[in-house]
Chain A
Amino acid sequence: MAHTSYINPFKAVKNLFIKPKTLCYPFTLKEPALRYRGFHTNDWDTCTGCGNCADICPNQAIEMKEIAELISHPEQGLKNERPLLDYGRCCFCGLCVDICPPGSLSLTRDYFHIHFDTGTFTFFPKNEASDSEHFKKADEYSVLKASLTHRKQDFQGFAPDLEYALFQPGRAEMRQVPAEKRVLSFIEQVLGYSREEAVEEASRCLGCRLCEEACPAHLKISDYITAIADGLPEESLRVIYQDNPLPAICGRICMKHCEDACSLRIRGDALAIRWLKRFAADTVKQYQKALEQEPGAATGKKVAVIGAGPGGLSLGYFLRLQGHEVHVYDRLDGGGGTLRTGPPAYRLPVDVIDRDVEYIASLGVNFTFNTEIGKDKKFGNLMKQYDAVFIAPGATQSFSTRVPNAEKCSLALDFLKDNKIGNARAIGKEVIVIGGGNVAMDVARESVRLQHMQHPGQNTVTKIVCLESGEELPASKEEIEEAEEEGIEFHTGWGPHRVMLDGQDCVSGLECRKVKSVFDKKGRFAPEFYEYQKTTVPADMIIEAIGQRPDFSFMGEYEKKLTFTERRKVHVDDNGMTSIPGLFAGGDIVNINLDAVTAIADAKRAAAGIDAFLKK
């Protein structure tokens, strides 16, 4: 030992003949690992501008900046903001990559940037698709020039991975009555979230507020979702009522423009905003106590509202809070308008509508039901008696195909109304529903239910015949899937040509022609058919559900004074006022969305307009 210990160190001499381990930069380069956390890239085409990267950044190295060249599309959840990175602060942890809902942000294996100007360390990350100038191909790339403006293409490092994402892509499943059970009655299909499920679902919200810009009524969605996540449904309802006085209704049938904008939808399921609103509305039993709202101090002004649909109800609510006296007239026996007669009971039961209407009535809004303006009361008198009038009569008349013998068919709105608040229709065993929109789905799905109730155990069928094929179907995907689950047959791409009658002048079928195209080159509705490609779909009952239009005859001579837009909508100004001073309008006669939440948005605008008009 004693001797070897002198010699041992010299063993190291053999290393002199081994190739050195050190790299001689820049002549030898070490390739960074595939997962290397280097400089950022951001695909501007998939980035939504949601700003979650800026929110998660522990060092506040990311700031969202508006980009003038980009256009926001709030309805699609696209903002014209992009992350601005500050490499003076960034620690390259990659939390921004793991939180990015569209997965547009990732890190590359680039890491060289040397510059005298510290300003160059702040930059907008892009990728080769959005910035081909600074991302070089392998043969053009030189490490000697490497910087934030001279980077390699296809140099992906730490990449987004849904499995390890920091957000929850999957939705808390909604309990629903299974198809085979729900077709037997008009039982409500969606059962609603329990408290735990609601908290779980609400907790998925990242709080980017893209939804709030997409919502026509701009509800403070993020705030009320956070309140639910915190276990405070009363607080949630208070926030909802700031912008929407129909939470139980909208919690069931809203067209949920918000969910179409949700940043989670891109790589997962959109947050179930509609069901969460329903949870808040259904959980809070005593609205008065929870909301603690009082009508404003009396102003002495009187406003008449024609139509107690979502527009009329909301307008009454907003104006009442400002202290005006509001009288709402409707020809039906209760509030809700089209919502009372249209959406089937399995989606929107009547007692739910009454709950929202009762609360609005409790604030002192006067309702006069079973009164048809134009018949029971003259429209002109209302214009004289009241300081302002708001009309939201909705689209109440169904279109007919007007094919030969079309008069033998039933019309969608009448069919739906009778089933919901009148006496249920006698249904055929073989029913055709003409149309491919959401109303057609409602009619067909009601028809299936009636068939099971009226012809139990017998062979019955409901078929949908429509011009549009496959992806063109205007009905929502959800509705189509549920209709298919319930056994409805789809005959898409066929245009009704003639209603066939049997010897007793009863419906025996529908002759159809194959559709060549539905829309013309400009995207307008102009169906073309193959003349000789025909088929006959047998049926003993046909219901037409191809659209509806408003009826202005109740206005008498005032109708002529209204001006209309190019799309046959009542023209209103920024305050919701029509061309007739003191007459305001909203709902389906004004907007092209034809849904409840847009009617509420119209009412909100008109309420502000009327308030300003009355205070003048």
Chain B
Amino acid sequence: MRELELYYGPQHLGMVGNFSITLKVQGDRIVKADANPGYLHRGFEKLMELRTWMQNFPLVCRINVVEPDHIELVYAMGVERLAGIEVPERAKFIRSIYCELARVASHLFGLWAYANMLGFDTAAQWAMYHRDLLLDLFEELTGARVYHIYIRPGGVRRDFPRGFEQKIVSTLHAIGGKVPDYNSLFFENRLFKKRAKGVGTLTREEAMNMGGVGHTLKATGMKYDIRKIEPYAAYDRVDWDVPVYTGGDAWSRLLAIRDEMIESVHMIFKLLDTMPAKGSVCTKTPNPFKWNIPAGEAYVRCESSRGELGLYIVSDGGDKPYRVHFRTPSYSHGLTILEHALQGENIADVGNIMISLYVVAPEIDR
């Protein structure tokens, strides 16, 4: 059969983000896929070398539109590691709660994209609506809905507003009450199963060798979660579990995401119960105009909603970073793993596989 070249994105209904895949197809079968992430290069890592330590934290959140919070967190952790700053206990809890809310919001956004892609519009709209409820919480806590600019080196920018804990609880109850509906409408729906089961299957070895992290590994039965392996913020203060599935396919990945959301909600309740009621939420950092951080380098990592997010940061003793590098989960998911997983699959499943891998294009090329 004749081999054709098919351009999937960036101008394609099934494509989210400025990203494209060049497919070599024979009939409906994909022979080879080439991912091209270069539409969204904004040079953040270079820009950061030109801004002071404090000026950088409003910038980093823009690396990932869907979930800016973990990028903020990992940058703050990197600066704190270099400067030897200890974060107050209450701030650690706030960071954990805030990041778990972000994880749920991000997963709901992912669920919207996935459900939309498969044609489950109702579930998609629900997910978007429930994400919006979480954005209301973010707005109340941080003053912004999407780019929160909240976690700063030293802690967080403001304490919880009055009565915020109750608002978190009631919002999460509202979302959690919809889980059975989501299940019956989407996760237990046989159409979803038919579309997702056995699609884009990865073995654990393949996933590991190609740099898979997060739910890609969790869907192959591996309990790999930075929050457990290298606990940061307040994740070691409460008891929680890493849900895993063993199929390695899109279906397992989606269920792992669903279970992770539910686990996150439970974790937030536990964190709210154990967090110190009072106390500082930010260590005083030096004057931002005269803040020189001793020369050194650090690699810090956290578990974002898409998996391990790393930051390598170098100081030469000056008031700006000498070099910054983000190791983002979508880099391996969107390039090596996606190209591998698409081989031999159907054209109709490109979006299905891509979104089940949770590729967020802005993250790939910073």
Contacts and interface: CB of A to CB of B under 8 A. Distances in A.
Interface of A: 1-2, 4-6, 8-9, 11-12, 15, 21, 32-37, 55-58, 91-95, 98-99, 107, 157-158, 161, 164, 166-168, 203-207, 226, 229
A36 B287 contact: no
B2 to A, nearest CB: 40
B285 to A, nearest CB: 8
Nearest to A36: B143
10 contacts: A5-B189, A32-B139, A35-B140, A36-B143, A58-B59, A91-B58, A93-B149, A94-B157, A95-B58, A161-B158
Contact of A207 (B142, B158, B289): B289
Contacts of B287: 166-168, 203-206
Interface string B73-109: 0000000000000000000000000000000000000
Interface stretch (B49-57, B331-339, B352-360): B49-57
B129 interface: yes
A54 B158 CA distance: 22
Interface stretch (B20-28, B180-188, B197-205): B180-188
B278 interface: no
A36 B144 CA distance: 6
Given A34-B161, A95-B54, A204-B287, 4 more contacts: A2-B190, A56-B288, A164-B157, A203-B287
B61 to A, nearest CB: 9
Contact of B143 (A2, A21, A37): A37
Contacts of B55: 56-58, 95
A207 B291 CA distance: 13
Contacts of A107: 143
B122 A203 contact: no
Given A8-B189, A35-B140, A58-B56, A91 B147 contact: yes
B241 to A, nearest CB: 26
Contact of A164 (B140, B158, B181, B189): B158
Interface in B135-176: 136, 139-144, 147, 149, 157-158, 161
A33 B139 contact: yes
Contacts of B190: 2, 5-6
Nearest to B282: A164
A164 B149 CA distance: 14
A242 B90 CA distance: 49
Across the A-B interface, give the 9 residue pairs with the lowest CB-CB distance, nearest first: A93-B58, A58-B55, A37-B143, A8-B184, A35-B143, A33-B140, A33-B139, A158-B143, A5-B190
Contact of A34 (B136, B140, B157, B290): B140
A11 B149 contact: no
B296 interface: no
**Chain A binding site: helix, strand, loop or mixed by DSSP?**
loop
Contacts of A158: 143
Interface in B111-144: 122, 129, 132, 136, 139-144
Contacts of A167: 287
Interface residues of B, number: 35
Contacts of A99: 288
Contacts of A8: 184-185, 188-189
A203 B287 CA distance: 6
B139 A11 contact: no
A168 B283 CA distance: 12
B38 interface: no
A5 B59 CA distance: 46
Contacts of B158: 35, 161, 164
A94 B143 contact: yes
B95 to A, nearest CB: 15
Contacts of B161: 34-35
Contacts of A203: 286-287, 290
A57 B190 CA distance: 53
A117 to B, nearest CB: 26
Nearest to B181: A11
Interface in B252-305: 282, 284-290
B289 A55 contact: yes
A33 B184 contact: no
A206 B185 CA distance: 58
Contacts of A33: 136, 139-140, 143
A6 B190 CA distance: 8
Nearest to A1: B188
Given A8-B189, A9-B185, A58 B289 contact: no
Contacts of B144: 36-37, 92
Contacts of A2: 190
Contacts of A37: 142-144, 149
A14 to B, nearest CB: 10
B188 to A, nearest CB: 6
Given A56-B288, A95-B54, A203-B286, A12 B140 contact: no
A206 B286 CA distance: 11
A11 B158 CA distance: 42
Nearest to A92: B144
Contacts of A168: 284, 286-287
A94 B149 contact: yes
A1 B184 CA distance: 10
Contact of B54 (A11, A21, A166): A166
Contacts of B122: 9, 12, 15
B69 to A, nearest CB: 15
Contacts of A161: 158
Residue from the set A5, A55, A164 with the largest chain B CB neighbour count within 10 Å: A164
A164 B158 CA distance: 7
Nearest to B158: A164
Nearest to A32: B139
Nearest to A109: B143
A415 B212 CA distance: 85
Residue from the set A5, A36, A58, A167 with the largest chain B CB neighbour count within 10 Å: A58
Contacts of A164: 157-158, 282
B75 to A, nearest CB: 13
Given A12-B122, A206-B287, A35 B142 contact: yes
Contacts of B181: 11-12
Nearest to B59: A58
A58 B53 CA distance: 10
A99 to B, nearest CB: 7
B51 A58 contact: yes
Contacts of A4: 184
B335 to A, nearest CB: 29
Residue from the set B132, B285, B290 with the largest chain A CB neighbour count within 10 Å: B290
A204 B285 CA distance: 11
B47 to A, nearest CB: 9
B139 A36 contact: yes
Interface string B325-361: 0000000000000000000000000000000000000
Nearest to A107: B143
Nearest to B144: A37
Nearest to A22: B129
A37 B144 CA distance: 6
Contacts of B147: 91
Contacts of B157: 94, 98, 164
A8 B187 CA distance: 11
Contacts of B188: 1, 5, 8
B143 A58 contact: no
A20 to B, nearest CB: 10
Nearest to B291: A203
A205 B290 CA distance: 8
A199 to B, nearest CB: 10
A37 B184 CA distance: 39
A1 B139 CA distance: 41
